[in-house]
Amino acid sequence: MTWQSIRGHDRIAEKFRRAITKGRLASTFLFVGPAGIGKRTFALALAKAFLCERSPELRLEPCGQCPSCLQVASRNHPDIELIAKPADKAYIPLELLIGDAEHRMRAGLCYNIALKPFSGRRKIAILDDADYLNKEGANCLLKTLEEPPAKSILILIGTSEQRQLPTIRSRCQIVRFSPLSENDVAELLVDRGICTDATLAHSAAANSQGSLERAALWCDPSIGEFRHDLIQILGQPTFDMPPVAKMIGQFVESAGKDSAAKRQRTRLVVSLAEEFYRANLLAQEGNTAISLAAKWMPAESPAACLDICLEVYAHIDANANQTTLIEWWLDELTQAASPRV
């Protein structure tokens, strides 16, 4: 993994180079941007550059071949702490940050990053899924963020700075990542073997919103068919709720028995509806290129429906009952979108 393999973020890499050259590199960063656009890949490439044994740190160009680079690539470098939310958890467990009950403050990210670097260069901690820090977990990080250990770098990765507590945001340098271009997404789908059909790859990229993760889903024809059916339903002033709830439930269940996969599939359903209501909002603002707009929808409805979708995400993360949540969501959307009489 070298900088050449990372698409769309050259500007950010150059920003880090300038900061190092000027001796102004911060210790704590918050990477924000849509899921699936390469934030974690960038963080690991940055770690590789900092720890490379053959290339000076000022160059920020990892060789990719030395023992240190190979250890970073295999995720077993002793000076890197990489944690993320377990698939079966709603939030990042406290023990990943400060150790379990028997090892409080003697294990976990906050403890490990304070240790002397094995290589003598830096200790680097990457906290993926920072959106899933609860208040208790965020508070555990505050001391480390306020007084970063010498020769340490802490990178938090999330989708939005608004999903972080103000105390976290104020102690991090925020780095905003932009969605990937359609061409980059299409080429990555093919290069990584996610999609072997170039035409399908470009079609998936067009619906990806710049996210490779989202594009990979569109390589499954069944998802495209479901999106078409859902948009057709939401585009009607009224619809029969029980069969729609059943259709969505079956689509979610098709993700498999794993609860984490079902939650992810439910998030996908909500994101498809979110896409529809954002299109309607843009159409009201005069964007004539939007094709998903429903002309019958009252002016205030798209924003209200978007708020409902955002609320549903929180319930999904909290492991709400799937059937009940889908029915509640559809009922709320129906009331918010119905034409006023």
Q: Tens digit of pLDDT for each residue in 6-27?
A: 888 989 999 999 999 999 999 9
pLDDT digits (tens, 9 = 90+) for 181-215: 999 999 999 999 999 899 999 999 998 889 999 89
* Mean pLDDT score, 231-258: 92
Number of helical H runs and strand E runs in the chain: 15, 5
How many C-beta atoms surround the C-beta of residue 302 within 10 A? 24
Q: Read off the pLDDT band of 2 (50, 70, 90).
A: low
Most distant pair of Cα atoms in the chain: their distance: 72
pLDDT at 99 over 60: yes
Q: Is 50 exposed, middle or buried (0-12, 13-18, 19+ CB in 10 A)?
A: buried
Predicted confidence (pLDDT) per residue in 289-304, tens digit: 455 556 778 888 999 9
The DSSP code sequence of 31-49 is: EES-TTSSHHHHHHHHHHH
Residue 194: how many CB atoms within 10 A of its CB? 14
- Higher pLDDT residue, 4 or 128? 128
As a whole number, the mean pLDDT across the chain is 90
What digits encode the pLDDT tens for the residues 116-149? 999 878 999 999 999 999 999 999 999 899 999 9
Query: Which residues are paired to 127 by β-bridges?
Result: 83, 156
Inform me whether the pLDDT recorded for 28 exceeds 80: yes
Pair of tokens at residue 286: 């005069």
Q: What is the pLDDT of residue 1?
A: 46
Tokens of 216: 């990979």
Domains of the chain and CATH, by start: 3-176 (3.40.50.300), 220-337 (1.20.120)
Instruction: Tell me the average pLDDT across 211-231.
Output: 91
pLDDT cut 70: percent of the chain above it: 95
State which amino acid sits at residue 40.
Answer: R
Label residue 43 exposed, middle or buried (CB < 10 Å: 0-12, 13-18, 19+). buried
